[in-house]
A and B are shown apart, each in its own frame.
Chain A
Amino acid sequence: MGFEIEISNLKKNYSYLTAISDLNARLEKGDFITLFGPNGAGKSTLLKILSTLLKPSEGNVVISGHDLGKNRNEIRKIIGFVSHQNMLYENLTAFENLKFISTFYSIKKPDEICGKLLQDIGLYERRSDPVKTFSSGMKQRLSIARTLINNPKILFLDEPYNGLDQEGIESFSSILSDLKSKGHTIFLTTHNIDEGLELSDRLMILNKGKLVFDQKNIYRKEEFKEIYFSVLKN
């Protein structure tokens, strides 16, 4: 059967530092995958490579049948990327931010779609307020809406919970579970094992650039915590 994301022999070096060494993985469509790992493990690098922002040093990635090396723009049409940096323009309003980005995806009827997205994330009432007046949780929700503008099949989320308060985390999680139920493939990285565990179908652990754990999620939080720390020790 075809996989949504196929990573083969992926390597990434920053001059002499190896960020990712020889990584292989096959990810299924519609899965919610969470990649755990301590800071500096190479999670961000991996996510940037998958979301076409960095070129790998060696190896290849095929996303939804498109080769990353050859067909970058095809992949860009079907993915979304959210990081702990919200990637928003502070002086534009929520609506303007979405509409601005929609231009670059050549979206038809942008006003309708932007309005709908703002409703989905519960920011429709604040659509005409500049983003700089928003809380970090609201910004992160808007950031998700921004990335949904092209209705991506696959979503890459790089430490999206960073800098969110408890309320922000909860509302963000509910958006994620909503997206999961709509059939988006979601790939999330985090260094905090308290986050994203319940939503995940599949758990991975990256340590020092190596994929050291890759299993279906059949664990309770305490069990996985034990596994996580024992894996990191080795």
Chain B
Amino acid sequence: MKNILFILTFIAMLCATYTSLVYAPTEVVMGHIQRIFYFHMGTVWAATIAFIVVFVASIMYLVKEKRKWDIIAYSAAEIGVLFITLTIITGSIWAKPVWGTWWTWDPQLTTTFILWVLYVVYLLLRSGAGKGERAAKYSSIFAIIAFIDLPLVYISARLKRGISPVVFGPGGGGIAPEMLYTLLVSLVAFTLLFIILLKQRIKIIKMRDTLESLKYSGEK
């Protein structure tokens, strides 16, 4: 079962690489650089799932107080930070030739950046709040507030600036069906990648738990 997931992810990533680099037509205006967008969307998608998982697991932890939920939240947050970092990097690489700048403070980018900051702080808080239940509880609380905060950041950033150019999606006009397929393949691949990373991370933390408890019982 575990191997099937590995193989599926591997195949999906290969497909995504092929479709986005070869299969998808070259965008007329932006040229080849637009192809990075399929990965960009993939990472932002995976990060979004990750942060939703953090949010749900945090609520579950506060209610149930079971270590299981804490491990899930922690693992998902780490992976989320990884993906959102990739999102920002791929986005910048794309933006430089297209917009002529690495970075601009439009609402989406602002929110993405704050999102990155929030979950880095989450990881900081985890290491700063010590071990055990308190760290778990505090970081759950922070994760919940951070999640509520995100839409507010977006709203306020929109208030401040004009609305950013829509590149994809409903407002972006007609896109070639091949592009849409490519995007879908990419999203599936990154979803699988997220699941597999999450499972691995959870496993590692559980192993570390076991190791620590063995160590402590040995000392007694």
Contacts and interface: CB of A to CB of B under 8 A. Distances in A.
A18 B212 CA distance: 12
A208 B219 CA distance: 13
Interface in B185-216: 209, 212-213, 215-216
Contact of B132 (A14, A18, A55, A208): A14
Counting contact residues on chain A (CB < 8 A from B), the size range is under 10
Counting contact residues on chain B (CB < 8 A from A), the size range is 10 to 19
A1 interface: no
Contact of B215 (A16, A18, A55, A208): A16
Contacts of A208: 220
Interface string B110-146: 0000000000000000000001110000000000000
Do most interface residues of chain A lie in helix, strand or loop, or is the interface mixed? loop
B186 to A, nearest CB: 40
Contacts of B131: 14-15
Contacts of B65: 55
Contacts of B216: 16-18
B147 to A, nearest CB: 25
Interface of A: 14-18, 55, 208
Interface of B: 65, 131-133, 209, 212-213, 215-216, 220
16 contacts: A14-B131, A14-B132, A14-B133, A15-B131, A15-B132, A15-B133, A15-B212, A16-B212, A16-B213, A16-B215, A16-B216, A17-B216, A18-B216, A18-B220, A55-B65, A208-B220
